[in-house]
Structure formats: C-alpha cells, structure tokens
Structure 1
C-alpha cells in the first residue's frame, strides 16, 4: 500500500524512519509504502518549529534544515526580544527556540538581565507588550531616588521614569528622599530648669535634605533628629533659671539652630529655622508669676502717680511765685478764672453806675479784698 504525502509551499515535512529523524522535506509530493517504517510530520512555516515529544537538539545535525530555521538559545540570565519582519512579537525566557525563516525574517535581541535596568535605546521604543515584564519607578521633581542592587548602592536617580526587568536575578530597591523643606515638632516636652522648676515646652524646627545618600543610610532618621533636638534643649534649659529663661526665650531658637547645624553633615540635611512655640508653666508657678506681675504693675502705677503729683505741686508753686512777683500776671489769672466762672453761669446781674468793665473790676476787687481779709 502506497502513502502519498503532499507538502505545500507554506509547509515543510520532517521524515522519520522507525521513530528516528532522517531529514526535512521541501514542498512537493512524496510516496512511501506502508511497511517502509517511514513517517512524515508536516509543519506550517508560519508557526514556530516544534515537534511534540522531540527535543530541538535532535534536529540540529541536519544542515539543510538549519538553513531554513532561525534558532535561538536563551540563557538563564537573559531575555530575548523576538522580532518578525522588524515588528516585536514576543519576549523569550530561558530555553531554546526555533522558527521557520522562510516566509518571515526573524531577528533576536539578547538582553542580559543581570543588569536589571532596561537599556535607554530600548526604552525609547518600548513596546506596550513589554510593560507586564517591567517594574516602572517614577521619581518626582521634589525627590531623589537611591538605586540599590542586592542592597548595594549603585547611584542616585534624578527626577524621571525608570524601567527594570521583573524576575531578574538581581533584586532592585529604590529608596526615595523628599527634598522639600520639612518640619519637626517637639511637643509637650517636660524639662527642668536650674532652679528645679518643671515646665513643658513646644518647639519646632525646619530642615531640608541636601545629601539623600547620607540621610537614607541612617536608620530611624526622624527619630534620631528628634532625640538630638531633645537633648540640645534639655542641656540648654537645665543651665538656666526660670526668670532668665523667660527673659531670653527668643534666643533659644538661635542657640538650638546653631547646635543642630553642627550635626548637618552627619544627617545630610540643612537646618533652616528653629524656635519656641510655647512655654507652659505649672499652675502654681503661673499664679505666683501673675501675683508678682500685678504687684510690679501696681508699684509702677503708684510711682507714676507720685511723680505726677510732685510735678503738679511744683507747677503750682512756680505759678504762685510768679503771681506774687508780678501783679499784672496775678490780675490776668483772676480774669482767666472769672472767664471760666462765666462759662458755667447762665446770667450775671450787675447794678450801680459805671460801665460793664468797671463793674466786673469792682466785683473782682471785692473778692480779692475778701480773700485778703
């Protein structure tokens, strides 16, 4: 019995004899007897080369087949980008692959994923189908990223977008540092002055990261800055009495700021400002201070009153001396008082001869004589 096998132009045949591969068959018609032990597997050249149950290595000795196959071996540390006629088709992981290089031209780009960051030329034309294989990390304008491979620092990342291969043999970590000005609040801190008075202090300082690599190398950065600030304040408050502290509280910020900046290089930051928000005294101390303040204000008021009384008495004495020495001045003073009296009186009745001025003069004269008597 004769078997007839027709292989079309878009097909190729693989001839096996008793299960062993012999050679490949090009388009044409082939006939075999049923008892010859021959078998032909027909493959479409538009599909990847694959024979179920057979390894690719079995066919590599066929030089003629090799001329029509594009074979690529992908190592464990590689990805391979597969292109057909210049268009991206797929990403190949570790293994061996073969494609019929007949109707389409195949091209392969090997990428060593031991360097997990995608090459810049690939990013420029990154196919969307590659995105599921990538980890995308974005660094904002106010940030800097510190890139680590297997926990070893590599470089600082400027603002932008970065792509890294997933499942690479190298682990990728990016630590972000915020370069904006930040604020640290120290609230409700109980501290004791030199004269053993316990008070509570609210303090604030502002800082900005200038060296992200130093800052991110410090474990518990915020906590360490907090403790440093706390110790500086305790040292300062503990050497001052309460009265002195309240008198120079505006200077505390400047002192603490200068001390903090001694640690700037260690922390990788620049301390921009510092200051006291509140000093909260115990209730008893506050009552005592209020009593002292009230007594001081009363004493100041009494002193001002005595000064005013003394000045008024001295002014009256000077006026009396001048009027005693100058009769005209005395007369003018009388007329001034008479004017003030007339302003407060509704009407004045004068009788007798003479004009109005003479009658008023007589009235003042009588009053003067009465005063002297």
Structure 2
C-alpha cells in the first residue's frame, strides 16, 4: 500500500513539474530573430532592450514588446485634395520607414505604425494643398522629398526614420483632363507654327545671301542656269530646251527700253 501511495506521489510530482515547466519555460525564454528587438518592462518599468537571440525573463514579472527593425511600408489611402489653384485632385502615396530606436518607438507613442500612417495622410493633404496642379505634376520628386522631410522630423522623437515617400498617382477630374489635352494640342500647334516660321525665315536669309552672291558674281548665275538645264534634261520630258546666253536677254531689254521711252522723257 505504501509502495502504491509513493508511486502516485511520484507521478503527481512529475505531472506538476511538467505542467509548471510547460507554463514557465515559454515565459522565461524568448528567441528573437536578427531583425527583432525586445523592449523589456519589469513590474511596468522599462528595464532594457535585448536581442537578437535567446533572452531570459522572470516569469510573470517581466513583459516584453517585440519591435521589427526592418523597413516597413504604409499605403496612404487616396485623398481628395484641393490644390493651390483650386483644382480638385485625388492623390495617394506610399511611405517607407523603419524603427531606429525600439525603446522610443514603444514608450513615446502608442501603436507607432498607425501613428505614422495618420501623420503621412495629413502631411500629404497639407503639402498637396500648398502647390499648384502644374507643380504637382511636373515636380513630383521635389514634393516627395518635402513630404518625407516633414514626416521624418515629426517621427524622429518616436525613434522612427522615414526613408522615402512616393506619391503614386494623381487622378484628375474628366473636365480637367479634357482641358489639359486641348492645352497640349494648342501648345503643339504653336510650336509647329514657330518651327515652320523659323524655317521660312532661315530659307529667306539663304535666298537673300544667294541673290547677293549672284549679283556680285555674274558667273555664278550662269553656272546655276547650266545646272538647272542639266537637271531638266534628266527628266523624261517631251520638250527640248535651247539654251540662250543671258546677254541676249539683256540686249532685248535694252532694245525695249529704247523703243518705249519712259513718260518723263
């Protein structure tokens, strides 16, 4: 009888120890990955930050908050914003940030990811509302850096570093899209007319230079005349050309002036 009682006592102790071990061991030992840190509170007071690897805790006395040190992303939901020139647009963005001080991220702010997300939304609305539509579309990089700088300054006391902010899309009203399309088409027409006018101007300049050169060098006109005849003769023409010296035309001109004197004479 005593042996049976002793056996049951031993089994009871073994079961009790096993249950306690199953309860206490997970509370005593934690394994942290390379990118994780544990902010430890003992009786509610901050003790230290540990990790990565195996850490030891006092069961039911020490509490930990795990913090991920990797770069995290936040999608800023699409916001309806009125720009500085009173155009309603819808914009969304994505924010990249990481925790550089796990202690500050846990102690200084409640739910730092959510807080950073709300801050990114309000900053996006504020900055877009301060710029005109053309600047928003043309200077996207400048606006991204401006938003990043503002958010980074706000989150620095929280131990958070904002690495980048990218405005993903700018959605315009349909009437604004049509107006911008008309504006772009008009601008293209204007450029085409300017280029055409510039070409005409340059061609006129060249013609004036050629005329001046031919006036100063009559032989150049003769050579041009012969070149034109050569070009015409290469065509499949059904007529024949008889070249005449230009001096003959001058003679005819002198005779016409002699026959028909001017009214002043």
TM-score in terms of structure 1 length: 0.56
Aligned to 2:244: 365
Pick closer, same or farther for the CA change 1:130–1:162 going to 2, 3 Å.
farther
- Structure 1 or 2: larger strand share? 1
Matched, 1:208 2:98: yes
Q: After the TM superposition, which residues 1-373 of structure 1 pair with which residues of structure 2 at under 5 Å, given as runs?
A: 132=22, 133-135=24-26, 136-162=29-55, 168=59, 170-217=60-107, 218-345=109-236, 363-365=242-244
Contact in 1 for aligned 2:77/2:121 (Cα 8 Å): no
Secondary structure of the residue aligned to 1:205 is strand
1:106 equivalent in structure 2: none
Q: Where do 5+ consecutive residues of structure 1 fail to align?
A: 1-40, 51-88, 94-127, 350-361
Once the two structures are TM-superposed, the CA of residue 134 in structure 1 deviates from its matched residue by: 1.1
Give the aligned length: 244
Matched residue, 1:111: none
Cα shift at 1:90:
5.9
Question: What CA distance in whole angstroms lies between the structure 1 residues aligned with 2:73 and 2:2?
Answer: 73
Query: 1:331, 1:296 → 2: CA distance?
Result: 46
Q: Structure 1's 223 and 130: CA in aligned 2 closer, same or farther, altered over 3 A?
A: closer
Q: SS where residue 130 of structure 2 aligns?
A: coil
Shift of 1:301: 0.8
Judge conservation of contact 1:194–1:241 (CA < 8 Å) in 2.
yes
Higher relative contact order (CA 8 A, sep 6+): 2
Tell me how far 1:267 sits from its aligned partner: 2.0
1:85-110 superposed Cα distances (whole Å, 9 cap, x missing partner): xxxx96976xxxxxxxxxxxxxxxxx
Unaligned runs of 5+ in 2: 254-265
The CA deviation string for residues 39-93 of structure 1, in whole angstroms up to 9 with x for no partner, is xx9779xx68x7xxxxxxxxxxxxxxxxxxxxxxxxxxxxxxxxxxxxxx96976
Q: RMSD of aligned C-alpha atoms? A: 3.5
Q: CA shift at 1:368, angstroms?
A: 8.6
Q: Secondary structure of 1:194's partner?
A: coil
Q: Using a 3 Å threshold, how does the CA distance of structure 1 residues 342 and 179 change in structure 2: closer, same or farther?
A: farther
Give the 3-state SS of the residue equivalent to 1:240 in structure 2: coil
In the alignment, the residues of structure 2 paired with residue 336 and residue 185 of structure 1 have an alpha-carbon distance, to the nearest angstrom, of 72
**Structure 1 residue 292, shift from structure 2 partner:** 1.1
How far did residue 348 of structure 1 move?
Answer: 10
How far apart are 1:366 and its partner, in Å? 6.1
Tell me the residue number matched to 2:259: none
CA distance in 2, matches of 1:267, 1:339: 86
Cα displacement string for residues 151-210 of structure 1 (whole angstroms, at most 9, x for unaligned residues) = 443221211123557xx4x25432211111122221311111123211111222211110
8 A contact 1:134–1:164 mirrored in 2: no
- Using the size of structure 2 for normalisation, the TM-score is 0.77
Q: Note closer, same or farther for the CA distance 1:226–1:348 as it changes in structure 2 (3 Å cut).
A: same
Normalized per residue, the structure richer in helix is 2
Greater gyration radius? 1
Aligned counterparts of 2:222 and 2:150: Cα–Cα separation in 1 = 75
